[in-house]
Each structure stands twice: as C-alpha cells, then as structure tokens.
C-alpha cells in the first residue's frame, strides 16, 4: 500500500515529467504529440487541484467540527474515494482523541460544578467591571436573595457591602452582621484573586458564622455560671447548716430573744432561697443531650392543654394535619414550648382579650412549631438580646427561659426565631 505522501506526490511527479517531455516535443516540431501532451498536462493539473481541494475540505471539516464542538463527524473512504485511506484514518484518530479530551473535560467540569453547588459555603466570582460571573446556590441562601447580576445588587443587604468586597484584599476576611426578617447572620467574607485570559477575577467565599459565635457565647456563659454557682453554693451550705444548728440549740433557751430567733430563721430562709435560686441557674449548664424519638404533635398538644393555669386567656391550637409527627426529644421540646407559652402569658395578660396560638406547620416535609400572642410586642432594641442568658425585660424575670429554648434547639440542630410588633404581638418559632 502506498503511503499518503507518495500518493500525493505521484500527480506532481507526473506533471513535472510531462512538462519536460512537452518541452522536448515542442523543440522537435512534433505538434500533434505536443497538443496531446498539453491536454494530458491540463488534465493532470485539474486532477491535482481536485485532490488538493478534497483534502482541504476534509481538513476544513475537521477544523469546523473542533471549533463548534461537533465531534460526531467521521471520515470514510466511500464519501472521499480520492483521499488516501491512511489520511482518513489519521483524521478519524484525531477526532477520537478530541472526543476523549472533551469527555474528560466535561466530566471534570461536572464534578467541580456538583462539588461547588453542594457545599454549604457561598461562592461567587466577579470581574473588574463588578459583574458577577458565577455563584452557587448557597450564595443566595446565605444572602437571602433570589438572584445576582452585579455587586450593586448586594446593596439590598447593606449599602456598603459592594465597596467592602471591592476593596477586600486576597486572604483577608471581613465579618458583617445582617439582620433579616427571620434570622440574624454574621457573614464572613473571604477574597481570593486570580487571572484567567488576562482578566482579573475575584472569588468571594461566604460563610454564616453566627451559630459558631452563638455557641462560643453560650459556652462562655455556661463556664461563668458553673464557676459562680460553685462558689456561691460552697459558701451557702455552711451558712444554712450553721443557722439550723443555732435555731435548734437556742429555741428552748429563755435568755435568747425572739429577735435573735427571728433573725436566725430569716438567715436560714433566705439562704435556702438563694440556694434554690442558684440551683435554678445551674440548669443552663446541665441540659442533657437529646434522646430522639418519633412522636405525635397532636398528642404533645393534648398534654400541653392540661398545663394551662390562666383561665382568662384563650388558648388556640392549630395543626395542618392530625397525623403530624416530629423526630426529636419530646421532653425537651415540650419544655421549650412551655417556656414560650409562659412568656406569651406574661406578655398578653394585660390585654383586653388575651389570646395565645400554638401552631404546627410543615415546610419541605419538616415540622415547625410556633407560639404567638396578641400582647404589646417586644421593644426593637431588646429583640436581639432576648436569647442571651440573664437578659430580661420583666421585673421578676430570671432571663433563662428563652436561653434554655435556644440551647435546646441548638442541640436539635434547629433554630428558634422571633417576630414581634406592637400591632400583631409576638411569635416564637421552632424550626427543625
């Protein structure tokens, strides 16, 4: 079998040979032979041009297929009989290699896209014109937006946010607190600078670190409470014991005045009261890990109805389905709802028609529990502090009820949120 190079060179060689013979015939005045040979030369030239044209078209088809990513093209001898077989094989092998490279690239791109789309951190990329070229679903979730086209869209969250991101240096992290309708976010923004095709791009990673900050804050409070309660209880125990002993020894003695006896009783009573007070605060540090089980919310609500102690308050229970179940620690969730009901009772007890609504709804197949009242609402300056241990707006409040609810929901990997206004009252919601 002749090689492709030899097949391409043969017409050229024949053309050169014919030209030499023609020149000899012309000098010998054999005009008939010269004419015949001239026709042969023209035919050879046309044949050569045709073959070159076919080869050029084949290469052009290959180039077009690569350019437009249409790698389904194949070459065969039937459609191109004048193209050497080995050349056709080479073209098909080239296409096959491009197909393999394209499949490998598509697989890698799919893997990277799947990975970026499913991580819980937000990622977005913007260019020097402040246009956002790419972002993953977590970005919209963290920012609470429906779409992004440019950095100016971030002004919906905070007016200064676009400028902050523009001037964010590589490796630098900036934390911004964002207060939205149902949640508070502490978003950490980190920048990475890179170049693609002489274009400078900035990659921004977005992570909500609010739960981490909350956990650290709670742990700090718990450590402080453990230290304080330990010291106070160690001091109170001997005072209580000593007062009891003095009361018993001196009760029958006539020379002991009633004032002294009363003072000892007061010391004993107040010491025990202070001890009970301190033990109550120790609950913040002793919440056990939840024991998860599946239980009926309807049954939970029926048990809660038995605990109501305010006959002048109207209690309304509402569920979207009588067969609604929750997978959680029943005792802890019940305690959280009781705490929210107690808060609601104190909030609306002074209204003309006090009303508390306990509801169970579903979202994405999961149950959400809420407690609403028609009280005067929570002051705006206090609403972000109500879950902090010991913070209270009530004169006789301890400030641990809502903090306990918060810790219970953290242990359940859920969230507790609040909405409040002077017109509609206050709603606490447990989201699982």
Question: Can you give the CATH number for the domain in which 190 is found?
Answer: 3.30.450.20
Q: Are strands 355-363 and 314-319 parallel, antiparallel or unpaired?
A: parallel
The crossing angle, in degrees rounded to 10, of helices 31-67 and 4-27 is: 150
Mark whether 56 and 129 lie in a shared domain: no
Is 51 a domain residue? yes
pLDDT at 314: 93
Query: Using an 8 Å Cβ cutoff, are 154 and 165 in contact?
Result: yes
Domain that holds residue 268: 213-285
pLDDT at 135: 86
Residue 308's CATH number: 3.30.565.10
Alpha-carbon span 34 to 57, nearest angstrom: 34
- DSSP-H helix ranges across 317-372: 330-348
| Domain end point (choices 208, 240, 263) | 208
Contacts (Cβ under 8 Å, ≥6 apart) of 405 = 336, 339, 340, 387, 416, 428, 430
Mark whether 52 and 159 lie in a shared domain: no
Distances (CA, A) of 188 to 73, 131, 143, 163, 420: 50, 21, 11, 15, 27
| Domain end point (choices 170, 190, 208) | 208
| Domain end point (choices 68, 87, 110) | 110
Q: Are strands 366-373 and 355-363 parallel, antiparallel or unpaired?
A: antiparallel
Query: Using an 8 Å Cβ cutoff, are 405 and 343 in contact?
Result: no
Is 410 a domain residue? yes
Query: Using an 8 Å Cβ cutoff, are 430 and 408 in contact?
Result: no
Burial class from Cβ neighbours inside 10 Å (0-12, 13-18, 19+) for residue 288 reads: exposed
Is 9 a domain residue? yes
Mark whether 305 and 279 lie in a shared domain: no
Alpha-carbon span 221 to 398, nearest angstrom: 14
Question: How many Å separate Cα 104 from the centre of its chain?
Answer: 29
Mark whether 385 and 330 lie in a shared domain: yes
Mark whether 51 and 150 lie in a shared domain: no
Sheet holding 132-135, edge to edge: 132-135, 122-127, 199-208, 184-196, 173-179
Burial class from Cβ neighbours inside 10 Å (0-12, 13-18, 19+) for residue 240 reads: middle
Mark whether 309 and 411 lie in a shared domain: yes
Neighbours of 176 (CB within 10 A): 16
Neighbours of 375 (CB within 10 A): 23
Query: Using an 8 Å Cβ cutoff, are 425 and 374 in contact?
Result: yes
Is 115 a domain residue? no
The single-letter DSSP state of residue 332 is H
Mark whether 325 and 414 lie in a shared domain: yes
Closest alpha carbon to 61 in 31, 37, 91 = 91
Q: What would the pLDDT profile of 360-385 be if each residue is shown by its tens digit? A: 998 777 788 999 999 999 888 888 77
Largest CA distance in the chain: 168
Mark whether 298 and 416 lie in a shared domain: yes
Query: Using an 8 Å Cβ cutoff, are 18 and 44 in contact?
Result: yes
Query: Using an 8 Å Cβ cutoff, are 373 and 383 in contact?
Result: no
Scan for tokens 């700090």, then name that residue: 220
pLDDT at 2: 45
Mark whether 86 and 156 lie in a shared domain: no
| Total of domains in the chain | 4
Mark whether 325 and 416 lie in a shared domain: yes
Mark whether 318 and 363 lie in a shared domain: yes
Mark whether 186 and 76 lie in a shared domain: no
Is 350 a domain residue? yes
pTM of the model: 0.48
Q: What would the pLDDT profile of 4-45 be if each residue is shown by its tens digit? A: 444 555 555 555 555 555 555 555 555 455 555 556 555 666
Is 160 a domain residue? yes
State which residues of the chain have pLDDT below 50.
1-2, 4-6, 31
């Amino acid at each position: 079998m002749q090689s492709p190079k030899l097949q391409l060179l043969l017409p050229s060689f024949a053309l050169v040979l014919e030209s030499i013979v023609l020149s000899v015939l012309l000098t010998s005045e054999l005009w008939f032979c010269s004419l015949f040979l001239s026709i042969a030369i023209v035919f050879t030239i046309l044949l050569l041009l045709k073959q070159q044209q076919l080869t050029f078209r084949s290469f052009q088809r290959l180039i077009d297929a690569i350019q437009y990513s249409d790698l389904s093209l194949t070459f065969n001898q039937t459609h191109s009989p004048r193209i050497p077989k080995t050349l056709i094989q080479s073209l098909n092998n080239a296409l096959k290699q491009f197909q393999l490279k394209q499949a490998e690239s598509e697989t890698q791109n799919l893997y990277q896209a799947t990975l970026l789309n499913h991580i819980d951190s937000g990622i977005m990329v913007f260019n020097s014109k402040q246009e956002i070229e790419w972002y993953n679903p977590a970005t919209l979730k963290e920012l609470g937006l429906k779409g992004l086209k440019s950095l100016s869209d971030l002004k919906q969250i905070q007016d200064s946010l676009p400028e902050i991101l523009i001037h964010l240096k590589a490796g630098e992290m900036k934390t911004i607190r964002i207060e939205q309708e149902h949640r508070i976010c502490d978003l950490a923004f980190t920048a990475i600078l890179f170049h693609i095709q002489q274009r400078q791009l900035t990659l921004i990673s977005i992570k909500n670190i609010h739960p981490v900050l909350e956990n650290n804050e709670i742990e700090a409070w718990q450590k402080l409470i453990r230290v304080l309660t330990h010291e106070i209880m160690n001091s109170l125990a001997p005072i209580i014991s000593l007062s009891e002993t003095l009361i018993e020894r001196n009760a029958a003695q006539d020379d002991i005045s009633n004032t002294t006896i009363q003072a000892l009783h007061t010391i004993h009573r107040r010491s025990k009261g202070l001890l009970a007070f301190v033990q109550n605060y120790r609950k913040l540090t002793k919440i056990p890990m939840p024991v998860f089980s599946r239980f009926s919310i309807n049954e939970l609500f029926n048990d809660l109805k038995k605990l109501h102690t305010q006959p002048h308050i109207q209690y309304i229970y509402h569920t979207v389905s009588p067969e609604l179940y929750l997978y959680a620690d029943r005792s802890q969730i019940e305690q959280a709802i009781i705490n929210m009901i107690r808060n609601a009772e104190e909030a609306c007890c002074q209204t003309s028609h006090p009303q508390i609504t306990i509801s169970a709804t579903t979202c994405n197949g999961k149950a959400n529990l809420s407690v609403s009242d028609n009280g005067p609402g929570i002051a705006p300056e206090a609403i972000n502090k109500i879950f902090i241990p010991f913070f209270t707006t009530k004169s006789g409040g301890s400030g641990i009820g809502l903090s306990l609810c918060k810790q219970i929901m953290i242990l359940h990997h859920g969230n507790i949120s609040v909405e409040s206004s002077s017109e509609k009252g206050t709603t606490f919601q447990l989201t699982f």
